Chain A
Amino acid sequence: MASKHVRRARVNKVVRYAVLTVFAIIIVFPLYIVFLDAVLSNSQIATTPPTLFTFHPHWNNFAVAWRVGGVSHYLFNSILQTSIIVMAQLVTSILAAFAFAFLDFPFKRTLFVIMISTLMIPFEVTLVTNVQTVSSLHLFGSTVGLVIPFLATGTGIFLLRQAFMQIPKEMREAAVIDGYSNMQFLRRVAVPLARPGIAALAVFSFLGAWNQYLWPLILTDNNVSIRTLQIGIKSIGGGVDSANVQIAASAIAVFPLLVILIFFQKHLVRSLTAGAVK
C-alpha cells in the first residue's frame, strides 16, 4: 500500500515537471530562436526543417552586425540615452519625492496632484507638440532631443514618495536632533533607507528607456548616427540576406534585460507590480 502511494506521488511529480517543462519551452522558444539564429548563417536560418541546434556557431554574424550593420553605433547610442534617462529620472524623482515626503512648502498638495496627473496623459497625445518643441529648440536628431521629454516621471515620484514615507518618523527626529540639515538627511538617511524602492525605479526606467520605440523612430529618422538599437533592428531589416544580422542585433538588445531578469528579478517584479495597489 505504502509503496503504491509513494509511486503515485512520484508519478504525480514527474507529470507536474513535464507539464511545466512543456509550457516553459513554448514560452521561451522565440527567445531561444533569437540566440540560436544569432549564430546561424542565412542559409541555415532558412532551411526546412528548421535548424534547432548547432555545434558550429557562426560568430561572424556579430562581426557583420557590429561593423557593417552599424550595431556598434546603435549600441553606444542606446547605452548613452538609457543612462541619461535613468540617471535623470532617479535624480528628479528622488528630489521631488523627498520634498513631498518630508518638507512643508506652499502649494504642496496642488503640486503633488499635478505631478500624479501626468500619469493620465498618454505619450501619444503629446507626440505632435513635443516633436515641434524639440525642433524649435534645434534638438531634432540630437541625443538631447532623444532624451529630453523623459527626464522626469510621475510614476517614479509616486513610487519613491511611498518608499520615503515608510521611513519611521523617529529617524527624522533623531536626524534633526543630531543637527542634520535637510539635504544631509536626504543623502545620509533617506536615500540609503529607500534603496530597494530606488533600485526598483532604476530597473523600471531602464526597461522603459531601453525598449523605447516611437520617439526614437521619429527623432533618429534623419540622423543614423544617433539611432538606437531598437530602431537599428528595424533599419537592418529582415530580408533573405540580412535576417541573421538583424537577429544578432536583437540578441544584443535582449541581453542586458536578460541579465536584469536573472540577477535583479526581485527589483524587477517589485517595480512591475507597483501599480497593483490593493
Chain B
Amino acid sequence: MSITTPDAPASPKKQRDSRLALPTKSDHVRGGSYKRRESALGLALVLPATIFFAVFSFYPFFKNFYEILYVPSININNPAKFVGLTQFWDTISSSSFLDSLRSTAIFVVCSVPLGVLGGIFLAVLAHQKLRGIAFFRTAFSSTIVSSAAVAGAVFGVLLNPADGFLPWLGIHFSPNILESPTLALPAVALISSWQFVGLSFIIMIAGMQSLPEEVLEAASMDGASSWTKTWRVTMPLLSPSIFFASVVGVIFSLQSLGVIDVTIGPYGAPYTHTNVLIYAIYNQFVQYNNPGSAACYAFVLFVITLIVTLVQFRLVEKRVHYGQ
C-alpha cells in the first residue's frame, strides 16, 4: 500500500528519493549569502513546531521521570525530596496498580481481536463488484464518526437494564451489566471494539484494493474457489494491513478512557474492575491529587505501548508477507 499518493504532477522518474529516506543536502550550488539566507529561513520555518514540541512533548516526557523520582515536600516552600525508585516500586506493587494492569489486559483482549477480525470480515464482504457497494462501504466505515462520549451515551441507552432492548430481547443481568464486577469491563471493551471496527475496516479495504490483481486472477485460472482464494491468497497478502490495524487497535484501546468515564465513571460500582491504566492515570492525578503516582502509571503504560509496538514489528519482520 502506498502512503499518501497526492495527485503527483508528471514524471515519476525525476521524483525525489525514497519517501522514507532522511532529508539530504540538496545539490544546488549557490553563492554564500543566498545559502545563509536559506539557512536562516529553514530554521525560522521549523522554529514554531520545535518550540511546541520542546515545551509540550520533550520537556514533559523527561519531567515525568522527575515526578517519579522526587516527591513534593510537605511544606510547599521546601524543594522536592529525592526518593529514588521507592515511589515507583511502592506504586507498581500496590494492589490497585495490579488491578489496573489486569483490567487493561482484559480490556485489550476483549476489544482488539474482535475489532480486527470484524474489520477483515467486513472488508471481505465489501470487496466485490456490485452496484451500490460504495453505500455499504460507507456504512461499514461509519463507526469512526462516533467519539468515545457518543458511544458511551448511546450504549448507555442500549444496555439500559430496566427498559428497552435488553428486556425486549429477554436478556436480564443481575446486577446490571454496567455495574457488574465481571461483565462491566467486557461490556465497555465491546463498545470500544464497535467504535474501532470502522477504522479497522477502512485499513483492510484499502489494503485489499492495493493487492495485485494478477495474483488473484492467476489463482482463479488455476481453479481456486473463492474460499481458497480468500484464505490462501488474499489473507497472506493482506497481512501488512492486518498487522497495522492490530497495532493501531492496541494503542487505541490502551488510550481509551472516554467510554468508561461516560458509562461507569470514577466512582461506579465496579470501579476497581474497570480502572484501566489510562483511567487510573487520570484518577490518581485528578481524583486523588497524586501526580507522582500518576507519573508512575504513565511510565508503565508508555513502556507497555513501546513493547507491544516493538514485538509486533519483530513478528512482522519474520512472518508477514510484504510482497515484491
Contact between A231 and B149 (Cβ–Cβ < 8 Å)? yes
Chain A residues contacting B322 (CB-CB under 8 Å) are: 278
Contact between B38 and A105 (Cβ–Cβ < 8 Å)? yes
Given contacts A24-B136, A27-B139, A152-B48, contact A133 B53 (CB under 8 A): no
Interface residues on B, range: 35 or more
Chain A residues contacting B302 (CB-CB under 8 Å) are: 121-122, 124-125
- A270 CA to B50 CA in the complex, in Å? 26
Bits for A25-44, please: 1 = Cβ < 8 Å to B, else 0.
00110110110010000000
A151 at the interface (CB under 8 A from B): yes
- A182 CA to B40 CA in the complex, in Å? 12
A64 at the interface (CB under 8 A from B): no
Contact between A103 and B125 (Cβ–Cβ < 8 Å)? no
Bits for A173-214, please: 1 = Cβ < 8 Å to B, else 0.
000000000110000000001111100100000010011011
Q: Tell me which of B26, B136, B153, B162 contacts A20 (CB under 8 A).
A: B136
Contact between A165 and B19 (Cβ–Cβ < 8 Å)? yes
Chain A residues contacting B153 (CB-CB under 8 Å) are: 34, 233, 238, 246-247, 249-250
Q: Which residue of B lies closest to A105 (CB)?
A: B42
Contact between B157 and A243 (Cβ–Cβ < 8 Å)? yes
From A49, A122, A124, name the one whose CB has the most chain B CB atoms within 10 angstroms: A124
B197 at the interface (CB under 8 A from A): yes
Chain B residues contacting A257 (CB-CB under 8 Å) are: 144-145
- A93 CA to B4 CA in the complex, in Å? 16
CB under 8 Å from chain B, chain A span 1-58: 13, 16-17, 19-21, 23-24, 27-28, 30-31, 33-34, 37, 45-50
CB under 8 Å from chain A, chain B span 80-99: none
CB under 8 Å from chain A, chain B span 94-135: 122, 125-126, 128, 130, 133
From A129, A157, A247, name the one whose CB has the most chain B CB atoms within 10 angstroms: A129
Contact between B3 and A274 (Cβ–Cβ < 8 Å)? yes
Q: Which residue of A lies closest to B309 (CB)?
A: A120
Q: Tell me which of B35, B147, B206 contacts A211 (CB under 8 A).
A: B147
Chain B residues contacting A19 (CB-CB under 8 Å) are: 125
20 A-B contacts, Cβ less than 8 Å apart? A16-B128, A16-B130, A30-B143, A37-B154, A98-B45, A104-B25, A104-B42, A113-B22, A114-B58, A120-B306, A121-B302, A128-B67, A129-B67, A152-B48, A163-B6, A166-B15, A170-B11, A196-B6, A233-B149, A277-B19
Q: A-side interface residues toward B, CB under 8 Å? A: 13, 16-17, 19-21, 23-24, 27-28, 30-31, 33-34, 37, 45-50, 91-93, 95-96, 98-106, 108-109, 111-115, 118, 120-133, 148-149, 151-152, 154, 157, 159, 161-163, 165-171, 182-183, 193-197, 200, 207, 210-211, 213-214, 217-218, 221, 230-231, 233-234, 238, 243, 246-247, 249-250, 253-254, 257-258, 260-262, 265, 268-270, 272-278
Q: B-side interface residues toward A, CB under 8 Å? A: 1-11, 14-17, 19-20, 22-23, 25-26, 28, 35, 38-43, 45-46, 48-50, 52-53, 55-61, 63-64, 67, 122, 125-126, 128, 130, 133, 136, 138-158, 160, 162-165, 167-168, 194, 197-199, 202-203, 206-207, 210, 240-241, 244, 248, 251, 255, 257-258, 261-262, 278, 281-282, 285-286, 291, 294-295, 298-299, 301-302, 305-306, 322-323
